[in-house]
Amino acid sequence: MLSRVASAIYWMNRYIERAENYARFIDVRLTLTLDLPEGTAEQWDPLVRTTGDDAVFARRLGKPQKETLIRILPANTANPNSNMSCLSAARQNARSVREIISSEMWEQVNRSYLTVTDAVSSGRFMQNPQGFFAEVKMASHLFGGITDATMSHGEGWHFGRLGRLLERADKTSRILDVKYFILLPDVSDVGTPFDNIQWSALLKSASALEMYRKHAGRITPHQVVEFLIFNPNFPRAIRYCLIKGEDSLHAILGSDGGAGQNLAGRRLGRLRADLDYADIGEITAQGLHEFLDNLQAELNRVGDAIFDTFFALRPVEGAMTKGDIQ
């Protein structure tokens, strides 16, 4: 497969997953404000930190406020991670590989982009933000289902799944990091109904509340962290994402591709193995923030290795240069 095609499919899926996660973060935060105890100050800083836009936001707009965030995070094209920007980038990538993807995939990406564009231009997303975010999330789910049902599960499909899962693992680690370190205003709130509300909101951010309750029952911080990091069966748990992502990378490289001899394969395999043998007690003892910070850095290194291995342009060996032409 051409590197241009592989890159477009990979990033198309990453951008759609990113748009969905942004919608989920903001939607859950809006819902959480309705459940806060009376007199509790609303906290919007964690939302900006979750998206990784805190430095840019502080430089341009100062302290995060509810109205500003609802306007800027979904719709501002100057923000490269906004719903609008992500779906626009996904559409551009989809257009460049229309001959590779199914017509249903292209139609869904295009429909998602046009829906968001209409909601932003008409101001509808500000009138009913939760309805808008529900549309963005559903559009992503539809795209995932259509992709699985209408695209051959060959190299292209595996590049798409790899991109989607790496993006998802990164976002799950970010919402965990923000909750553990920032969201709770006071140590005295630990174990209170207010604390439980916030841990429930975190699980909702990952669409994990129902599956967590089936798995563990009562909500405790220790078990929530363990579930979202180590569970091998829940699709938004970090370990699940790495296991399935590694499966796709092996499929791309082939049985004789030697994943262990490939930089991307080595980095992803090492990261997955670290989670396989890690222990939640050891992680919390050494510091969850430090663990998640390192995990995000390693995920970035995996992404860099995937780019260098599959997408980076290299000079063709033996090709003529301008000086060779007489």
What percentage of the chain has pLDDT greater than the value 90? 52
What are the distances in angstroms from CA 184 to CA 36, 259, 261?
Answer: 12, 42, 44
Residues 36 and 131 in one domain: yes
Q: Is residue 63 part of a domain?
A: yes
Q: Are 178 and 25 in contact (CB under 8 A)?
A: no
Residues 139 and 4 in one domain: yes
Residues 203 and 129 in one domain: no
Tokens of 5: 């095609």
Q: Is residue 60 part of a domain?
A: yes
Residue 240 confidence class, pLDDT cut points 50, 70, 90: very high
Q: What angle do CA 25, 31, 34 make, to 5 degrees?
A: 145
Q: pLDDT tens digits, residue range 8-20? A: 999 999 999 999 9
**Sequence-separated (6 or more) residues with CB below 8 Å from residue 30:** 70, 129, 130
> What is the pLDDT, as a whole number, of residue 63?
64
Assess whether pLDDT exceeds 50 at residue 25: yes
Assess whether pLDDT exceeds 60 at residue 325: no
Residues 111 and 186 in one domain: no
Residues 77 and 196 in one domain: no
Residues 62 and 78 in one domain: yes
Residues 172 and 282 in one domain: yes
Conformation bin of residue 201: beta by default, left when phi > 0, alpha when psi is -120 to 50? alpha
Sign, Cα dihedral of 75, 78, 82, 87? positive
> What is the pLDDT, as a whole number, of residue 144?
96
Conformation bin of residue 36: beta by default, left when phi > 0, alpha when psi is -120 to 50? beta
Residues 243 and 172 in one domain: yes
DSSP 32: H
Residue 320 confidence class, pLDDT cut points 50, 70, 90: very low
Last residue of a domain, one of 118, 151, 184: 151
Q: pLDDT tens digits, residue range 266-289? A: 999 999 999 999 988 888 888 888
Look up the domain containing 69 and give its range: 1-151
Helix (H) or strand (E) holding 104: helix 103-122
Q: At what angle do helices 238-253 and 263-276 cross, to 10 degrees?
A: 150
Residues 196 and 141 in one domain: no
Q: Is residue 124 part of a domain?
A: yes
Q: Is residue 319 part of a domain?
A: no
> What is the pLDDT, as a whole number, of residue 282?
85
> What is the pLDDT, as a whole number, of residue 93?
97
**Amino acid identity at 209:** L
Q: pLDDT tens digits, residue range 180-204? A: 655 554 545 555 666 777 788 888 8
Q: Are 231 and 241 in contact (CB under 8 A)?
A: no
Q: Is residue 50 part of a domain?
A: yes
Q: Is residue 325 part of a domain?
A: no
- Name the least confident of 2-16, 42-56, 109-123, 216-230: 42-56
Q: Is residue 221 part of a domain?
A: yes
pLDDT, averaged across the chain: 84
Q: What is the DSSP string of 184-219?
A: ---GGGTTSHHHHHHHHHHHHHTT-HHHHHHHH-S-
Q: Are 77 and 85 in contact (CB under 8 A)?
A: yes
Assess whether pLDDT exceeds 60 at residue 253: yes
> What is the pLDDT, as a whole number, of residue 322?
46
Assessment of whether the complete model's pTM goes beyond 0.85? yes
Q: Are 203 and 224 in contact (CB under 8 A)?
A: yes
Residues 22 and 92 in one domain: yes
- Structural domains of the chain, count: 2
> What is the pLDDT, as a whole number, of residue 73?
74
Q: Are 83 and 75 in contact (CB under 8 A)?
A: yes
